[in-house]
Structure 1
Amino acid sequence: MSHVPSPVEGYEISTDSGRIDAERVHRWLSGDAYWAIGRTREKQDRAIAGSLNFGVYEIVSGEQVACARVITDRATFAWLCDVYVDPSVRGKGIGTALAEAVRDHLRAYGLRRVLLATHDAHGVYEKVGFTPLERPQEWMALSFE
C-alpha cells in the first residue's frame, strides 16, 4: 500500500513516509496526545524514521488529518502506536478506516500478533478485530520513564 482511497469519501491513506507532515504530527502528539505530551521533536523524528508510518490525507488539499505508527519486524510481531486523528475531522470514521488499513497492511506479513495500548479508544479497535489480552498476567513491561 502506498496510496489507497479511504472508505471515508474525500480522504486517502498512505504508507509513504515522505508524505508525513512531521511538524504537524509532533504538534498533535506532544501537545494533545496523553501518551506523548512533551515528546521532543527530535525524539518524534527518530520514531518516525524507525517505523512503518500511515497517514490520512484530504484528497483535494493533500493536508494530513491523521497518523499512525507501527513498530514491526515484518515477520512475527507489530506494535501499533501514535494513532491520532485531528479534532477537526473526528467523528467521520477516519480513525476506524486508519485502523482497518493498518490491519490489512500488516496481515500480509503473516505476523503472530499486533499489540496496542489505549485508555479510551477500545471501541475503535474492537471494530477491526482487536481484543483484550487473554492472559495479561503473562505480559511484562520494562519502563525507562
Structure 2
Amino acid sequence: MIIRREDDYEIDTDPDRLDIDLIHHWLSTDAFWALGRSRETVEQSARASLNFGLYEANGTQIAYARVVTDLTTFAWLCDVYVDPAHRGTGLGTWLAAAVRDHLAPYKLKRVLLSTLDAHGVYAKVGFVPFLDPGKLMIMGSVQ
C-alpha cells in the first residue's frame, strides 16, 4: 500500500523499502523506549510486523511505525518515530492516521499504544486514554 500527499511525501508498507540501518539508529540512540536496542532485534521485529515507512519525494525515509497484530482482533502500534528535522509538520499525525485507516477494514476489537509525550498526536486520529489502566498488566520490563 502506498499513500501519497500533495506535497509528495508518501507512506509505504513495503518491508523491502525500509532502511533498517536508519531505523535502528533512530530507535537505539534517540527513542527512550528502545535505547540500545540491537540491529538484529530491530530487523527481526520489523520482519514479524506490519511496517509503515514515511518517505520524502526523493525516497529518503524520514519516519517509521510498526504494528504488531493478528489482523483479526488486536493490534499494538509501536516504534513510531519521526526524524527530528521533520517533527512539528503534521507528518506524525498523518502516519498515525494512515495506520488507523489501514487497520480499519479488519474491524479489530482494540488497537493499543503507549506514549509518554505524544498524546495529542494520537488523539487527533481517534486514540483515547485507556478507561481503566488498572486492568492492564505487563510481564518483563516496565519501560
Question: Where does the alignment leave 5 or more consecutive residues of structure 2 unmatched?
Answer: none
Which position in structure 2 is the counterpart of 1:33?
A: 31
- Equivalent residue, structure 2, for 1:55: 53
Deviation above 3 Å: which 4+ runs of structure 1? none
How many corresponding residue pairs? 142
| Counterpart contact for 1:81–1:116, Cα < 8 Å | yes
Q: Deviations over 1:24-62 (max 9, x none)?
A: 000000000000000000111100000000000012x10
Q: What amino acid sits opposite 1:6 in the alignment?
A: R
TM-score, normalising length: structure 2: 0.96
Task: Tell me how far 1:144 sits from its aligned partner.
Answer: 5.1
Task: Give, in whole Å, the separation in 1 of the partners of 2:92 and 2:5.
Answer: 11
TM-score between both structures, scaled by the size of structure 1: 0.95
Counterpart residue identity of residue 137, structure 2 = M
Q: Deviations over 1:77-127 (max 9, x none)?
A: 000000000011111110000000000001111100100001000000000
Among all aligned residue pairs of Structure 1 and Structure 2, give the percentage whose two residues are the same amino acid. 56
| Gap runs ≥5 in structure 1 | none
Query: Whole-Å Cα distance in 2 between the matches of residues 89 and 10 of structure 1?
Result: 14
CA RMSD of aligned residues (A): 1.1
Q: What CA distance in whole angstroms lies between the structure 1 residues aligned with 2:9 and 2:79? A: 19
CA contact (8 A) 1:6 1:97 kept: no
Query: Using the alignment, how far apart are the partners of 2:23 and 2:88 within structure 1?
Result: 19
Q: Is 1:118 matched with 2:115?
A: yes
Contact 1:99 1:128 in 2 (8 A): yes
The correspondence for 1:82, drawn from 73, 79, 93, is 79
